[in-house]
Amino acid sequence: MKISEIISALNLKVISGDKGLKNEVTGGYVSDLLSDVMGNAREGNVWVTLQTHQNVVAVSALKDLAAIIIVKGLAPDNDTIEKSNIENIPVLSTELDTFNITGRLFELLNKK
């Protein structure tokens, strides 16, 4: 599944990193500790987090993640948006909290 399909299925807002919308998704990862994401997320994962610091993009680039979903309508820091456009890693936003967006994402990715 592509990021663009997830965006329309889950009604996500694209904040930045438009050039990465065709990224292929392998699964998801949920964590707010970036050290944990560095250790455990896998290539192509969509990452759900409440962190908005620019390091979310740095970690995503390092781990080749497909996209970042920021929960609860939290606004990413300006540096995060800039870095996301440079790295072509989409930063997406949802008004839902982590529990609810993750439930929907899990259902979507495991449907077929």
Partner 1 sequence: MRTFRADLHIHTVLSPCGDLDMSPVRIVEEAAAKKLDIIGVTDHNTTRHCRLVRSLALKKGIFVMTGAEITTKEEVHCLAFFENDEKLKLLQDFIDANLPDMLNIPEIFGEQLEVDENEIIIYEEKRLLANAVKKSINEVEAFVHSLDGIFIPAHVDRMKNSIYSQLGMLPDNLKADALEVSRATTTAKFAALHPEISKYPVTRSSDSHYPDSIGQFTTAFFMKEASFSEIRLALAGAEGRKIIQE
Q: What DSSP element (H or E) covers 29?
A: strand 27-30
Helical residues (DSSP H) of the chain, grouped into ranges: 3-10, 34-40, 55-62, 78-87, 98-109
> What is the nearest approach in angstroms of partner 1 to the Cβ of residue 81?
13
**Which residues 51-80 are close enough to bind partner 1 by CB under 8 A?**
51-55, 58-59, 62, 77, 79
Identity of the residue, 2 or 72, whose beta carbon is nearer to partner 1 in the bound complex: 72
Residue 37 in contact with partner 1, rule: CB under 8 A: yes
Distance in angstroms (rounded) separating the CA atoms of residues 53 and 51: 6
Work out which of 13, 33, 42, 72 binds partner 1, going by CB under 8 A: 33
Distance in angstroms (rounded) separating the CA atoms of residues 95 and 73: 4
Stretch that binds partner 1, among 8-16, 35-43, 91-99, 104-112 (CB under 8 A): 35-43
